[in-house]
Amino acid sequence: ETGVTQSPTHLIKTRGQQVTLRCSSQSGHNTVSWYQQALGQGPQFIFQYYREEENGRGNFPPRFSGLQFPNYSSELNVNALELDDSALYLCASSLVGGMNTEAFFGQGTRLTVV
């Protein structure tokens, strides 16, 4: 079991609403990445945060945004929810500055948009 925790575990939202997902990184880690995983597919990289700034982004629209806090925890915000946003959202934490450091994933938040 990793030290990465995500909340909530499940969430149901209506199309057009906004949602905030939360991630607490493993102790000693300073980078958080977020992924979207649709059913039957591999996780797709959304963005990552290091030192409270976004320093890498995948092919996701601006309505996907995030924050990283001084304690390295993070939020993923999605505005104007669409039905296709229904997915498992994963966060992963890692340590910058080390060589080939592995990332540890949380158990994910299952978002359903109706």
Q: Write out the residues near another protein by the rule CB under 8 A.
A: 2, 4, 31, 33, 35, 41-45, 48-50, 55-56, 88, 90, 92, 94, 96-108, 110
- Token pair, residue 39, equals 């059913």
SS3 79: coil
We find the least distance from the C-beta atom of residue 83 to another protein, in angstroms, to be 20
How many degrees, rounded to 5, is the angle at CA 23 between CA 100 and CA 39?
85
In terms of CB distance, is 101 or 112 closer to another protein? 101
**Phi and psi dihedrals of 85, rounded to 5?**
-80, -10
Query: Of the two residues 19 and 108, which places its CB atom closer to another protein in the complex?
Result: 108
